[in-house]
A and B are shown apart, each in its own frame.
Chain A
Amino acid sequence: MGKTKPFLDFQNDSTANDIKLALREGFKSIEHVKRYTTTGMATDQGKLSNMHALGIIAETAGVKMGELGTTTFRPPYTPLTFGTIVGRNVGEFFDITRRTPIHDWHVENKAKFENVGQWKRAWYYPIDNENMHEAVQRESKAARDSAGILDASTLGKIDIQGSDASEFLNRVYTNAWSKLEIGKCRYGLMLNEDGMVYDDGVTTRLSENHYLMTTTTGGAANVLSKLEDYLQTEWPELDVYLTSVTDHYGTVSICGPNSKKILSKIIPDLDLSDKEFPHMSFKNALIDSIRCRVMRISFTGEHSYEINIQASYAKSVWEKCFEAGKEFNITPYGTETMHLLRAEKGFIIAGQDTDGTMTPVDLQMDWIISKKKYDFIGKRSLYRSDTIREDRKQLVGLITDDPKEILEEGAQIVAETNKQPVEMLGHVTSSYFSPNLNKSIALAVVKNGKKLKGQKMFVPMENKIINVTITDTVFLDKENKRLNA
């Protein structure tokens, strides 16, 4: 017991002896003793240790405790439980969940959900005892053969207004925006300053100085913050205002060869001819006197429409589309089928086929980089020695020799299996069995992939080696005939 240290402050390890030493060395004010010994400077803010320190100082100095004063007390003035501060993060309240305005329909129709950020998104809709594979095969076939319907409400939506809105988009995206006609839509890629793909989406010109930008579901909040940051710190001269409208609109997407017939039943007054309403354009419309915006855009490669309507009407519009589409066997599909359909067309998902190390050139999307624009975010970085290397990892398609073999996402790709050490050339980013092509397809990033089309490669797995061939990224409808079918 004689050698036991009399600790005062269990967080900063100061002892009664430290206090006495401070007094002997001439520190008399409690504030000085506190700083010299660090007593009471941890998260308890003196509520525990300083009271004892005051007692020792008073006793050693021969004064009353009340005469010494106290250090500055900071909140919490009295001990609190963590529960008081953070609330009840237990059970269903452990993590926040976001729901689309059509969520209840998905629940009623026995959808399986997946977490996308904080969103609960319908993943697939099993019928009877279908597993995910069976449900996705059925959904994707129906979408290509007749009609599919998707809840796309989670996509980030940013309202952009101001006399410099076009210039703003020119600086934000890699492609040019000034000449986009009112009523037309355009796909854009957004880069980080390092030239790597950050986000993507379709932006619509609603009027001369008014655009509606869409972002990825997961990137919505970050994109808005980033753009607002640029406006406030880098481009304060631009007359542009951004407002999030992600939650204001519900989005119902209908796709497939019969989508036009379904939409014409719901909005009979709208001219849906290719001439009046071509791919990548938008129209204002009324559904039962409620204003909505209809975009003819496609993430599946099919003839498609996206109806944006105030969220409180979205479920009703969804049900109306579903009812109108029954004669065409309209099929609700979830995110898994959406991923498969877009992969058949070679459309990327930012965050799945990109990982912060892919430039547009790596994605074989050179066409989206404007050569005429003076500048855009990330432009300078696209011309650095590392980003112009021809042997960077590049996006390619993969076909397995055995068409029934489905590759694992994340699996490594090698050219030789006998040579040690085995050189990893890339990895699989997306992989599915396509019922529309009746074979397995995959997207992958492979070193120098652009020049390796037709080359045989290997995907070594735990118990076997899978033979694959590098292909183009577009597996279905290379001529885009289905967009106007």
Chain B
Amino acid sequence: MPNWNSAIKKIDVNDVVSVNLNHHSELFISEVEPIMKLNIRGKSRDFLSMIGKILNIILPTETNTSTTNKFITAIWLSPDEWLIFKNNVTNRGAEETNIEENLYKNISQKKLGSITNVSDQFVMINIQGKNLYELLSSGCPFNFNDFKNKKGAVTQTLLNHTDVIIYNEDINKINLFVRRSFSAHLWSWMNDSARFI
């Protein structure tokens, strides 16, 4: 039997669970996979209500903030755009499909806004450790002074000239979203830059 009939496999971008970037500063980096990510866009009150009804979450309307419940987190991207992602790794199966299809049916098809699956558009990288912001600051123009003390804060900035979304999950712990095609390069850059911290 030819093996072209075998099941297709999912391949992670960075084939590691967790890497200690710098033993002295205890800086850890890991790809969080698989995580459902959806880009949602809309403007009307009906859109916001429907999202709240389906996901049981109030979308953040204040710039660079987020909201979260037990299952998902919503990140503000622009006045009519949010990135939502699951708080825990999930099986890429029916659960993910059901949420997407439910939203698509009630938002996109009812002309309230748009729902787009971006699970593989972004790689989510978790970075934690006391020197976390030194690593980011070595290639980022953003001033993290206020950000690092504000749990749930979000910023869209550049890291090593690459567009990234950074979400402050907790003290010295962030989730960084980078487009998949850039992720291997950025991962290498972080490994290299951590040597100098």
Contacts and interface: CB of A to CB of B under 8 A. Distances in A.
Contact of B161 (A96, A241, A324): A96
Nearest to B138: A87
B179 interface: yes
B12 A312 contact: yes
A93 B189 contact: yes
Contact of A248 (B4, B41, B118, B162): B118
Contact of B8 (A245, A247, A290): A290
Contacts of A463: none
Interface string B100-138: 000000001101011111111110000000000000011
B26 to A, nearest CB: 21
Interface string A272-300: 00000000000000011011000000000
A99 B117 contact: no
A323 B2 contact: yes
B98 interface: no
Interface stretch (A157-165, A347-355, A419-427, A432-440): A157-165
Contacts of A133: none
Interface in B6-40: 6-13, 34, 39
B120 A247 contact: yes
B185 A98 contact: yes
B118 A324 contact: no
Interface residues of A, number: 46
A113 to B, nearest CB: 14
Contact of A99 (B109, B122, B184): B184
Interface stretch (A27-35, A187-195, A313-321): A313-321
A311 B13 CA distance: 10
Contacts of B192: 88, 93
A148 interface: no
Interface of chain A: mostly helix, strand, loop or mixed: mixed
Contacts of A313: 8-11
B114 A315 contact: no
A93 B188 CA distance: 8
Contacts, number: 124
A323 B181 contact: no
Of B3, B111, B193, the most chain A CB neighbours within 10 A belong to B111
Nearest to A165: B114
A459 B39 CA distance: 53
Given A210-B108, A241-B41, A159 B116 contact: yes
B71 interface: no
B191 to A, nearest CB: 10
A441 to B, nearest CB: 33
Nearest to B113: A241
B60 interface: no
Interface string A229-265: 0000000000101011111110000000000000001
Contacts of B116: 159, 161, 243, 245
A312 B81 CA distance: 25
A85 B181 contact: no
Contacts of B162: 96
B188 A101 contact: no
A209 B118 CA distance: 19
B52 interface: no
A310 interface: yes
A248 B120 contact: yes
A317 to B, nearest CB: 6
B68 interface: no
B3 A87 contact: no
Contacts of A78: none
Given A243-B41, A245-B116, A100 B139 contact: no
A96 B157 CA distance: 16
B61 interface: no
Contact of A93 (B2, B42, B160, B184): B160
A98 B181 contact: yes
Contacts of A222: none
B120 A249 contact: yes
A92 interface: yes
B151 interface: no
A283 B188 CA distance: 38
Interface string B174-197: 000001111011001100110010
A159 B160 contact: no
A241 B78 CA distance: 12
Given A317-B8, A324-B4, A87 B139 contact: yes
A87 B8 contact: no
A423 to B, nearest CB: 45
A18 to B, nearest CB: 34
B190 to A, nearest CB: 10
Interface in A294-344: 310-313, 315-317, 320, 323-324
A163 to B, nearest CB: 4
B6 to A, nearest CB: 8
B91 to A, nearest CB: 12
A77 B27 CA distance: 27
A248 B8 contact: no
A97 B185 contact: yes
A1 interface: no
A313 B179 CA distance: 16
B10 A248 contact: no
A288 B120 contact: no
Given A312-B120, A313-B10, A265 B4 contact: yes
Contacts of B139: 86-88
A185 to B, nearest CB: 19
Contacts of B189: 87-88, 93
Interface in B64-120: 80-81, 97, 108-109, 111, 113-120
Given A88-B193, A99-B184, A324-B2, 6 more contacts: A98-B185, A162-B111, A243-B116, A246-B181, A312-B13, A313-B8
10 contacts: A92-B188, A93-B185, A96-B185, A100-B181, A119-B181, A241-B80, A241-B81, A246-B121, A312-B13, A313-B9
Interface of A: 84-88, 92-93, 96-101, 119, 159, 161-163, 207, 209-210, 239, 241, 243-249, 265-266, 287-288, 290-291, 310-313, 315-317, 320, 323-324
Q: Which 9 A-B pairs have the closest CB atoms?
A: A87-B139, A323-B4, A161-B114, A241-B114, A248-B121, A98-B181, A316-B8, A311-B120, A324-B4
